[in-house]
Amino acid sequence: MTERATPEAGPQGLASRLMDSGALTSDWLPAYQAVSREKFVPDVIWPAVGRNDGGPVESIDFRADPEAWFRAVYSDTSLTTRWDDGNHTGPGRGKVPTCSSSQPSMVFSMLAALDVRPGAKVLEVGTGTGWNAALLSERVGPENVVTVEFDPESAATARARLDAAGYNPVAVVGDGSHGWSACAPYDRVLITASVREIPADIVRQTRPGGIIVSPYATEYGGEAVVRLIVQEDGSATGPFVGSSAFMRLRQQRSYRTHVREYLGGKPWPADGRRTTTTLSPEDVAPWLPMFAVGLQTQRLFPYPERYDGGSYTLWLRDTEVSSWASVDFVPGAQEFEVYQSGPRDLWGEVRAAYAWWSDQDRPGFERFGLTVNPDGTPWAWLDSPEHPVPAVVG
């Protein structure tokens, strides 16, 4: 396959772009060169390029268009390889991606944050296509790598790719949220799916001084990669190192109740109380403010219902199915109509969380950090653990 591409379009070109961006460092370059991404990508893929515009996700089949497939593999984009845990063969209404080959710049940024040295014992949660496990095997030796995958079919195909590439890490089919105690303790842990809670078993299986790198998502939304160092007392603490957008760890997926249950079967606005707001739903829509709001709120999540012409309704709901709010965005408006029902003032909670973030000069992801107590309780902080992020109580 490699003979089809120019150096700019193939592995060499991607390596140059990743090194220019700082994602791929010189110490990881030998592993990148030894482990071809193409060996860990199936024939049919769905590149993420173009998905942010709301357009359809188009597949590329190597058998039909090998050159387009090769260009996609050596672009800096994630490649979806599986939908709805294999229950569907492609995207569609309500379908969600459940396995991918992650964006290379994200892969190597997380590996750099892991600070893994040759000979270290590493646990990977989420084998996926197997590319990460192969890169780690090249770096520390396959005998020092344990990779856990919940989905049996994904695990089997990843195992076959690893075997074909000449790597034989400990590959486990199981619940990665429990780690793999048989080979613990670990020097490093890499979680390749987003979590709302850092699994306590994983913290316990990491030696003091060990590092855990994981995408961390709030209930409200937004996500960033956190780099935790495990302490002697069994806690773990560390900063967020950048934005991310990963598929959720299966054991921590959210299953939402339809809005009709909140309305009690009545048409909107049912018994909602009407007010207005000058805070636009657009202000709280980007990934960073969503993350800041999510670090402060609990059991609260949004959903935008979009209409023609750019207008939409921002729905807010609580996980207890007791309270809801709707905020109508109209382009060019200065005030926005709000309806709310239930014991919680959901829009008020979002406004308070957004106001705190704004008052702190709108800090970026890297100014936030996370501490996980020995009992597993997490709490966020700004700049240092001495400055905890306040909780908006609802």
Q: What is the pTM of this model?
A: 0.92
Q: Are residues 51 and 176 in the same domain?
A: yes
Question: Is 378 within the bounds of a domain?
Answer: no
Q: Supply the range of the domain harboring residue 120.
A: 2-250
pLDDT score of 120: 97
Predicted confidence at residue 341, as pLDDT, reads 97
Q: How far apart are CA 390 and CA 292, in angstroms?
A: 11
Last residue of a domain, one of 228, 250, 272: 250
**Single-letter residue type at 59:** S
Residues 6+ apart with CB under 8 A from 233: 374
**Residue 141 sits in the same domain as residue 276:** no
* Number of Cβ within a 10 Å radius of residue 90: 13
pLDDT at 3: 42
- Residue at 381 is within a domain: no
Q: With respect to residue 226, please indicate whether it lies within any of the assigned structural domains.
A: yes
Q: How many CB atoms lie within 10 A of CB 344?
A: 21
Q: What is the per-residue pLDDT for 53?
A: 42
> For residue 209, how far is the Cα from the chain centroid?
24
Contact 383, 367 (CB under 8 A): yes
Relative to beta strand 170-173, strand 145-149 is: parallel
Instruction: Please identify, among 215, 250, 285, the residue that sits at the C-terminal boundary of a domain.
Output: 250
Residues 226 and 299 in one domain: no
Tokens of 49: 């390029």
pLDDT for residue 253: 78
CATH number of the domain bearing residue 264: 3.30.160.690
State whether residue 162 is helix, strand or coil: helix
Q: Does residue 185 sit within a domain? A: yes
Q: Enumerate residue ranges in the chain where pLDDT < 50.
A: 1-7, 50-55
pLDDT computed for residue 89 by the predictor: 66
Within this chain, do residues 225 and 273 fall inside the same structural domain, yes or no?
no
What distance separates the 2 farthest-apart alpha carbons in the chain?
65
What digits encode the pLDDT tens for the residues 214-248? Answer: 999 999 999 999 999 999 999 999 999 999 988 88
Place of tokens 């009690």: 264
Reported as a single tens digit per residue, the pLDDT across 149-159 is 999 999 999 99
Token pair recorded at residue 349: 């909670």
Is the CB of residue 249 less than 8 Å from the CB of residue 191? yes
pLDDT at 58: 86
Tell me the C-alpha distance between 136 and 111, whole Å: 9
DSSP state of 88: B
Task: Say if residues 193 and 78 touch (Cβ distance below 8 Å).
Answer: no
220 with 351, same domain: the answer is no
Task: Say what the pLDDT of residue 383 is.
Answer: 98
**298 and 333 fall within a common domain:** yes
- Please state the domain count of the chain: 2
Same domain (yes/no): 222, 292: no
State the DSSP code for 141: -
Average confidence score pLDDT of the chain: 92
* pLDDT computed for residue 87 by the predictor: 65
* Domain end residue (candidates: 223, 250, 277): 250
Instruction: Report d(CA 167, CA 94) in Å as an integer.
Output: 37
- Distance in angstroms (rounded) separating the CA atoms of residues 290 and 285: 6
Catalytic residue numbers, as ranges: 102
CA distances from 124 to 84, 145, 191 (A): 22, 7, 6
Check whether residue 273 and residue 205 sit in a common domain.
Answer: no
